[in-house]
Structure 1
Amino acid sequence: MSELSKDQYYVPHLAKWPIVGSIGLTTTVLGAINMLNSENPGTPWVMYLGFAIILFMMFGWFGDVIKESENNLYNTQVDTSFRMGMVWFIFSEVMFFAGFFGALFYARTFSVPWLGGEGTGLATNEVLYPGYEGVWPTNGPGDLNGHYDIIDPYHLPLVNTLLLLTSSITITIAHHALRANNRAQTIIWLIATVILGAIFLYYQAEEYIEAYQQLNLKLSSGIYGSTFFMLTGFHGMHVTLGTIMIAIITIRVIKGHFRPESHFGFEAVAWYWHFVDVVWLGLFIFVYIL
């Protein structure tokens, strides 16, 4: 099929994938809510079903876009639309994490000190929670889930930080190799990036196991536990999606897709991965160290 002219704009057919993705996200969220608020052992499978639907949607939608791209249905106008869409998508992700970081900062800067008596002027804390000391990290007044210990930032978190920083380097080298039309080097460095992402996820799973089984640090461990697992958990989900996308890009490069002068699919995934790395640096500093 010939490439579209500059004054033509490709309008895709009616796609089923947005509604499939919506069903998957809804199923995942409902399953997660029930899992966190119910002792029904079958509840987690609802969340797992949602994950499966989302993966099905991703592979199906990716497949359609890849076919359209390889059939030269996209011109410079479509490329510009893709770039603008990706910029706005990453901006929405920035605001998504800003909400969780904002909750963390508000709790540490205002709520916890206020409960400890700082700046109230009326000793309200003595009425609400007498004897409570507003020191971070906190399990909340009354030790909601018993004593817990925090994760050592200079053990697994530091290793994961080095892994993600290294992965930013490897995917950048892969990008330069693709622009130089060195497909073999591109494949090698992309595979290295996928491996680094997978190792990161493995160590994060190890960290969660240690937190639950040895440190008694859980999602129910007050404001610290909830913000810790919400921030690191959602970031881990983003790393999982990013690793899957890089793996797909690797397969595409192996199959001969992308050209040095036209490879926005590769660039979009690289942008996303760099964003994920930057978010982790914020997590490492404000969640683990400070």
Structure 2
Amino acid sequence: MIINPSENIAEARGAGRHAWCGLLLAIVPGFGQFYHRQWLKGSVFLVLLSSFMSIFYDFLSEGLWGLYTLGEEVPRDNSIFLLAEGIISVLIIAFGVLVYFLSLRDAWVNGKKRDEGVALNSVRKQYQMLLSEGFPYLMITPGFILLVFVVIFPILFGFAIAFTNYNLYHTPPAKLVDWVGFKNFINIFTLSIWRSTFFDVLQWTVVWTLLATTLQCTVGVLLAILVNQKDLRFKPMIRTIFILPWAVPGFVTILVFAGMFNDSFGVINNAILSFFGISPKAWLTDPFWTKTALIMMQTWLGFPFVFAMTTGVLQAIPDDSV
């Protein structure tokens, strides 16, 4: 069979035509889907992104301006509020860019299918696929959005504050806050008072992280192993007692411990330490003993969870296992 070179050239030129046309048209949201005759999906992308721009345009413009300038006039502009609005604007823009990217990707993927001669899914088929494959993503989307604004936003805000001159002498609304770049980080290592404060805080952070976490995990695991012994009686009652600190609100527990560790009338000094012949400690006035008390309180608050988790794991082990 003789192959006409002109046919090969035409096929080469036509390869990927639908994919590239769909991608180029998708620069305008929804038009790539319209090109593939997916009218409902294209309308959704068009309405969604058009509404996004019309609703958030003013907020995003002001937010980005505030993020760049941190205010220009006192007391009209509050630099901290403007910084927060700017970070929220960046997060909203990231969400819009994600939807826009999905629109482009959808137009490209469907174009590739058309170039390969594969029929596109109907509206009913797309709906069925959404329920079967996309349902988990739909369910976690609200939680993910909440996670972004409850966890990620505070982290970004604290990170951004580190690059400003926000301090006692630059506090809104009386004063504006300015961007200072890496000046604060340089001062940590060049100014002695900053350096000593930073390493003191860092040292306590490391001690707190290691001791508080290690102690509550150790106490919880050891108690779970002890209570899981076969010859121990009244296991349900003992487990209930160990779980009770978890049931009590943390604020109430902290108030109780504040009274117990009181230097004057606290039961720790007047009853427990005196019983063992140990001199009273300045739990609330001496930094060392205050930190020790905090670690003890965190251990009390945290070990019930570890105890419950370890107990569940131990009970799941078969009795005949070695």
- Compute the TM-score of the two structures, normalised by the length of structure 1: 0.28
| Structure possessing the higher relative contact order (Cα contacts under 8 Å, 6 or more residues apart) | 1
Higher Rg: 2
- Compute the TM-score of the two structures, normalised by the length of structure 2: 0.25
